[in-house]
Amino acid sequence: MTRAQRILEWYRTLEINVDLPAHIDVLNPYKEMSDSTYAALQEFYERYYSDERPRKLLMGINPGRLGAGLTGIPFTDTPALESIGIEMPEVNTTETSADFVWRVVEAYGGPEAFFGEWFIGGVSPLGFIQKNDKGNWVNFNYYDSPDVQKMLTPFIIEQIQIQKELVGGADKLVLFGTGKNLKAIGNLNKEHDWFVQIDALEHPRFVMQYRRKRIPEYLEKFVATLNM
């Protein structure tokens, strides 16, 4: 199997067997994915990962409901897919995090250069939503509740190990999230000794929401970190 085939097989079998609180639900875009959406997902990974070259590992927190929670491709929305000529006709979504990450991809040298060297995954490759006081479903990060984080820790440990193996045994990690995400993964890394080095970058959503006027500065910082 090529790396692309192994990635796709992993996605097809992703499942969380945890009895989460009633107000929290799992975002699993790969479950009952339509044929056309899966075809686009398959086209993406076969285009960039149909080889055996090892990749470096970049991880986000967990998919959001407007990005990978719909497309199945981390930090990728409809405009990003359209920019590389991939149509996902049943999905029409935009996400600020995807916007920034694809600016990073371009600044790095374009999709072929970036995905030829990097794989983007997630501490949890499946996302979460919770019902707020108004009855609306909103994004939920795995660390937003200590109890939920504890419940999810066995799944997270398993998935980090799987992703490390999928990319060819990466011994370094670039992580999106300099706060709670870094603390959680730093602590787990001390126990499991996955990575000799973890470099944390601000989460793309933080940059787009709170540092938008400084996007060129952050692009330079992100590309420099990825090139280290």
Output phi, psi for 142, to 5 deg: -55, -25
Order across the sheet with 24-27: list the strands: 24-27, 127-131, 137-139
What is the per-residue pLDDT across 78-112, written as a single tens digit (0 to 9) for each?
A: 999 999 999 999 999 999 999 999 999 999 999 99
What is the per-residue pLDDT across 28-66, written as a single tens digit (0 to 9) for each?
A: 999 989 999 999 999 999 999 999 999 999 999 999 999
| pLDDT over threshold 90, residue 228 | no
Q: Please, which pLDDT band fits residue 1 given cuts at 50, 70 and 90? A: confident
Other C-beta atoms closer than 10 Å to the C-beta of 13 total 8
What is the per-residue pLDDT across 189-224, written as a single tens digit (0 to 9) for each?
A: 999 999 999 999 999 999 999 999 999 999 999 999
Q: What angle do the packed helices 180-192 and 146-166 form, to 10 degrees?
A: 60
Q: To which H or E segment does residue 80 belong?
A: helix 78-83
**What's the structural domain count of the chain?**
1
Neighbouring C-alpha atoms within 13 Å toward the C-beta of 152: 30
What confidence score (pLDDT) does residue 124 get?
Answer: 97
Environment class of 132 (CB within 10 Å of its CB; exposed 0-12, middle 13-18, buried 19+):
exposed
CATH number at residue 209: 3.40.470.10
Output phi, psi for 23, to 5 deg: -85, 5
Q: Note down the domain range covering 117.
A: 3-226
What confidence score (pLDDT) does residue 132 get?
Answer: 86
Q: Measure the N-to-C terminal CA separation of the chain; round to a whole number of Å.
A: 30
> What does pTM read for this prediction?
0.94
d(CA 170, CA 192): 14
Residue pair 76/98 in contact by the 8 Å Cβ criterion = yes
